[in-house]
């Protein structure tokens, strides 16, 4: 299993196939395994890079809370592209992975060929809304520390995962799920690449957020997947893959 050393923190990653690079980032408390269906569908024509965020799956769970942050996650993504020799890539993710894909685009626009945002949101402009989100994240961390992995929900993307213990997820909730500012949502109108904004029709918590992103990102295409919830790729894999492949087919040559 490949590991990327980020100042002593080992990040698990996998490279599948060859061709234009797609970096897929998973949701909070999930792992790279949630992308197995997309790896199978895309690896014949693309180089699909998947990974476990710090505190998740096969990556390290550093004990220092300061080693979990949006900035470090964005740095992990950049280091992964460097590791596989990708000057630019199609940056994609679901839920927290989608938010981090937007954060990466805001920090390193020159590395992004296209953007795919699945069942995700861009954060919050209003401090009160962000504070409410962050309180939920902190409560998740406290529950994980008190009760362990048993507190994880039974959603489809989480069922596929294996974590060694709950400590990394608790710290990731505080440092990566919680948001510091409105930088990401304020960056949407500066996104200068084609973007696929996809959401499951039943993912009610993210319908408004995806409408907002599709309206703000100049080259966005919006797709709603019928009979799918928050893990649209798992609930409707055929429809999901069709939408992704149609979007990728329209991209200009790298």
Q: Please tell me the predicted confidence (pLDDT) of residue 20.
A: 97
| Alpha helix (H) residue ranges in the chain | 36-42, 70-83, 96-107, 127-147, 156-159, 167-172, 183-186, 207-216, 232-235, 237-249
Please, what is the average pLDDT of the chain? 96
Q: Over 90: is that where the pLDDT of 160 sits?
A: no
Place of tokens 């998973």: 26
Q: Over 90: is that where the pLDDT of 96 sits?
A: yes
Inter-CA distances, 36 with 50, 56, 212, 226, Å: 9, 17, 29, 21
Q: Please tell me the predicted confidence (pLDDT) of residue 227.
A: 97
How far is it, in rounded angstroms, from Cα 18 to Cα 3? 19
Q: Please tell me the predicted confidence (pLDDT) of residue 212.
A: 98
Q: Over 70: is that where the pLDDT of 91 sits?
A: yes
Q: Please tell me the predicted confidence (pLDDT) of residue 48.
A: 98
Q: Over 80: is that where the pLDDT of 66 sits?
A: yes
Per-residue pLDDT tens over the stretch 213-242: 999 999 999 999 999 999 999 999 999 999
Task: State mean pLDDT over 58-69.
Answer: 98
Confidence of residue 155 (pLDDT cuts 50, 70, 90): low
Q: Please tell me the predicted confidence (pLDDT) of residue 4.
A: 97
How far is it, in rounded angstroms, from Cα 168 to Cα 227? 32
Task: State mean pLDDT over 142-159.
Answer: 83
Per-residue pLDDT tens over the stretch 1-48: 799 999 999 999 999 999 999 999 999 999 999 999 999 999 999 999
Q: Over 90: is that where the pLDDT of 158 sits?
A: no
Structural domains in the chain plus CATH codes: 2-249 (3.40.50.1820)
Q: Over 90: is that where the pLDDT of 101 sits?
A: yes
Q: Over 90: is that where the pLDDT of 156 sits?
A: no
Is residue 120 within 8 Å of residue 209, measured between CB atoms?
yes
Q: Please tell me the predicted confidence (pLDDT) of residue 254.
A: 72
């Amino acid at each position: 299993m490949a590991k990327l050393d980020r100042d002593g923190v080992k990040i698990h990653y996998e490279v599948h196939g060859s061709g234009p690079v797609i970096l897929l980032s998973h949701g909070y408390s999930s792992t790279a395994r949630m992308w197995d269906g997309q790896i199978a569908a895309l690896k014949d024509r693309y180089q699909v890079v998947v990974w476990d965020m710090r505190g998740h799956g096969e990556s390290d769970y550093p004990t220092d809370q300061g080693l979990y942050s949006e900035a470090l996650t964005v740095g992990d993504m950049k280091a992964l592209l460097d590791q596989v020799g990708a000057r630019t890539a199609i940056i994609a993710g679901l839920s927290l992975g989608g938010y981090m894909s937007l954060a990466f685009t805001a920090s390193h626009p020159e590395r992004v060929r296209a953007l795919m945002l699945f069942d995700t949101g861009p954060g919050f402009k209003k401090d009160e809304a962000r504070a409410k989100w962050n309180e939920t994240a902190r409560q998740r961390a406290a529950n994980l520390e008190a009760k362990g992995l048993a507190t994880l929900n039974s959603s489809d993307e989480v069922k596929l995962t294996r974590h060694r213990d709950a400590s990394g997820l608790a710290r990731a909730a505080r440092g990566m799920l919680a948001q510091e500012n409105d930088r990401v949502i304020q960056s949407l109108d500066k996104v200068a690449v084609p973007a696929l904004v996809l959401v499951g029709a039943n993912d009610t918590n993210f319908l408004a957020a995806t409408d907002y992103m599709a309206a703000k990102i100049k080259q966005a295409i919006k797709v709603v997947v019928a009979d799918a919830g928050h893990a649209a790729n798992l609930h409707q894999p055929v429809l999901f893959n069709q939408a992704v492949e149609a979007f990728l087919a329209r991209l200009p040559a790298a």
